[in-house]
Structure 1
Amino acid sequence: MAAKTLQEFLSTTKEKDLSGDAFELESSHMLEVRVDGLVWAKAGSMIARKGGVKFTRQGMLEQGLGNLLKKAVSGEGMTLMKIEGQGRVYLADVGKKITVLRLQGESIFVNGNDVLATESTITNEIKMMRKAAGMMTGGLFNVKLSGHGLVAITSHYEPLTLPVNATTGPVFTDPNATVAWSGGLSPEIVTDINIKTLIGRGSGESIQLRFAGEGWVVVQPYEEVYFQQSGGSSGGGGLLGALMD
């Protein structure tokens, strides 16, 4: 590839203003948020800002009693920050691909580690599972997003959406490769003894999520590993956990 002049570089990498939405992709890996009031974002995801904005870590009481209790039980949770004021904030998450969705009263479930930002009109609720197999991964979780407004979710590389219906039958996914699913689905944790025996592993492909009903599930071509931290909490959230809801 030929070298660019400085002016060519500045022209091709300058910020875009292609829409009037609060969320706009500057690239597939960087999100611009136009703040005019309040926006929620993943803690630590800010890479640049301008204007009169301030950042506040989500308070315990703001999480709601239900979310707070589930975090206490699981030893983990989705850590958000409030972005308030007027200005522009640029967000990214370890180079992951960002997808902006507009919810129009629907509900979706998202891997807790893959929620990058939401407008203040979107509600979030931590959902946990209650199968013993889930405890092997440290009690991981997912988040239900509902309402009217924009949400930004992340994935490693290009995601794939698989339909779930009576024609396709159940869809089975690796929990660490599962990004999101439609609000009407309730996955079950299943164990494939044959795979476990053949591969000789006690986790991974031997533990799967089973989706049945009407809806869709999004997967990524990457198995995200969540490392155990001291005190028994999991590194960034995930989808396996102990179906408390």
Structure 2
Amino acid sequence: MQSPLFGFTETETQDRYALQNPQLLRVSLSGHEDVLARKGTMVAYQGIIEFDAEYRTPGQQRARAHTGEGLDLMRCSGQGTVYLANLAQYVHVVDVDHTGLTVDSSYVLALDSALNSEVIAVDSQFGISGSGKYNLQITGRGKVALMTSGQPLMLQVTPDKYVNADADAIVAWSSSLRVQMQAQTHSAGVFRRRGNTGEGWELNFLGQGYALVQPSELLPPQNAVIGQGMRAQYGMGQHGAHAQNQGNVWTNR
């Protein structure tokens, strides 16, 4: 058999996390350290690999029920390689160190089992009850695989150069940064997109660190129902995940 498809063969590497292409992640398992992956993202595997639903502690269950934030994970263990992807989202591997990483759980594809995560709220500077956006703070040392819609932009934040980002486009940031939620107006219009500009809430980052922004204001279409039209495939409409998870500070809680 001959085909140009043979140009897309497996990339050999000794790295535990390795991108096979911009949208497909390979994770090597040696039997010593498991990886936690988003449920349903395994596209292939080789070797002897077991997949088990990850247990949530009572505290994690309460946090998920209260905030809507959290990860539906499966534990991948054994010896071999597992290939992970989610609807052709771009995949990026990040090393988490002592500074920690804050991320919207919808953008997490996989992480080392040794890492810890807890739900935190980004408080609104206006003090409006319920307007905080909940995220995951990941701490420890290890790797996290993130997803973005398109190629992202990594912005450096310094004491002399702060960054403002659309709350629907921000993916992750250094946990050491100070974060405020704000809008351009204090009027009732903040509950809508700003006037006719199409802009809504934004996050203001100050301190020393980095902020990762994607070129899209939609979350990855998790669990979209394939076969219900293009809108459903991209997470929109009553059959798509976008109907339940619109990815803004009011509905993604």
TM-score (norm 2): 0.77
Per-residue displacement from partner, 1:30-88 (whole Å, max 9, x unpaired)?
00111223110111111111221111122122xx62x3322121234221111111121
> Using a 3 Å threshold, how does the CA distance of structure 1 residues 86 and 197 change in structure 2: closer, same or farther?
closer
> Would the aligned equivalents of 2:157 and 2:207 in 1 still touch at CA under 8 Å?
yes
SS in 1 for 2:99: strand
CA displacement at 1:179 relative to structure 2: 0.8
Cα distance in structure 1, aligned partners of 2:53 and 2:27: 17
> Would the aligned equivalents of 1:165 and 1:213 in 2 still touch at CA under 8 Å?
yes
Query: Whose relative contact order is higher, 1 or 2, with alpha carbons under 8 Å and at least 6 apart?
Result: 1
Match of 2:167 among 164, 169, 175: 175
What one-letter code is carried by the residue in structure 1 that aligns with 2:195?
A: L
CA displacement at 1:198 relative to structure 2: 2.8
Where structure 1 has 5 or more consecutive residues not aligned to the other structure, the ranges are none
Where structure 2 has 5 or more consecutive residues not aligned to the other structure, the ranges are 222-235
> Using a 3 Å threshold, how does the CA distance of structure 1 residues 217 and 197 change in structure 2: closer, same or farther?
closer
Instruction: Give the structure 2 partner of residue 42 of structure 1.
Output: 38
> Would the aligned equivalents of 2:123 and 2:181 in 1 still touch at CA under 8 Å?
no
Instruction: Spell out the pairing of 1:1-245 with structure 2 (5 A cutoff).
Output: 6=2, 8-10=4-6, 12-18=7-13, 20-37=14-31, 38-61=34-57, 65=59, 67-131=60-124, 135=130, 141-168=134-161, 170-193=162-185, 196=193, 198-199=195-196, 205-225=199-219, 235=244, 240=249
Cα distance in structure 2, aligned partners of 1:163 and 1:49: 36
> Would the aligned equivalents of 1:142 and 1:238 in 2 still touch at CA under 8 Å?
no
SS in 1 for 2:86: coil
What one-letter code is carried by the residue in structure 2 that aligns with 1:166?
A: P
> Would the aligned equivalents of 1:70 and 1:128 in 2 still touch at CA under 8 Å?
no
> Would the aligned equivalents of 1:191 and 1:207 in 2 still touch at CA under 8 Å?
yes
> Would the aligned equivalents of 1:115 and 1:154 in 2 still touch at CA under 8 Å?
yes
SS in 2 for 1:59: coil
> Using a 3 Å threshold, how does the CA distance of structure 1 residues 128 and 155 change in structure 2: closer, same or farther?
same
What one-letter code is carried by the residue in structure 1 that aligns with 2:172?
A: A
- Point out the structure with the larger helix share: 1
Cα distance in structure 2, aligned partners of 1:46 and 1:221: 25
217-226 or 87-96: bigger deviation? 217-226
Aligned-residue Cα RMSD (Å) equals: 3.2
Residue identity over aligned pairs, in percent, reads: 28
CA displacement at 1:111 relative to structure 2: 1.7
